[in-house]
Amino acid sequence: MYKTLTVKERDWSLNLEDAYYVEHPEEILPECLSGAAKTAPGCYVNIVTPGECGDPHQWLIPQLIAKLGEAGISFKEIRYIDQCGCGGHVIRVFR
């Protein structure tokens, strides 16, 4: 499924911090999986999620780890970076 995506051969950011994802939080995990799949090994993707969706330690990071494994998408680490001044959260997926 993810093999047809254009791979980013650099570090990059995926901003999911907008009203759509607040109203459709079920779309965040699939977007994170797609973002990780688009990231070349040796690079990372910063993923910014809305503050209204809660602390990613509590829901996103554990689910993302499980789904990456199920999808066969290798990664080295998922790290919580910080909470933005506007309330969102930043995690980093190292490939």
Q: What is the pLDDT of residue 86?
A: 86
Which pair of tokens denotes residue 76? 């080295």
Could you state, in order of their start, the residue ranges of all structural domains in the chain?
2-94
Tell me, yes or no, if the pTM score tops 0.75: yes
pLDDT of residue 53: 96
Sequence-distant (≥ 6) Cβ neighbours of residue 87 within 8 angstroms? 50, 51, 52
Q: Please write the tens of the pLDDT for every residue from 25-56.
A: 999 999 999 999 999 999 999 999 999 999 99
User: pLDDT of 48-91, one tens digit each?
Assistant: 999 999 999 999 999 999 999 999 999 999 999 999 888 999 99
pLDDT of residue 3: 52
The more confidently predicted of residues 29 and 3 is 29
Identify the band that residue 5 occupies on the pLDDT scale cut at 50, 70 and 90.
low
Q: What is the pLDDT of residue 4?
A: 57
Give CA–CA dist 94/47, Å, rounded. 11
CA dist 5 and 82 (Å) reads: 28
- The rounded distance, in Å, linking the Cα atoms of 46 and 23 is 21
Rounded-to-integer distance, Cα 62 and Cα 60, Å: 6
| Tokens 């990071």 -> residue | 61
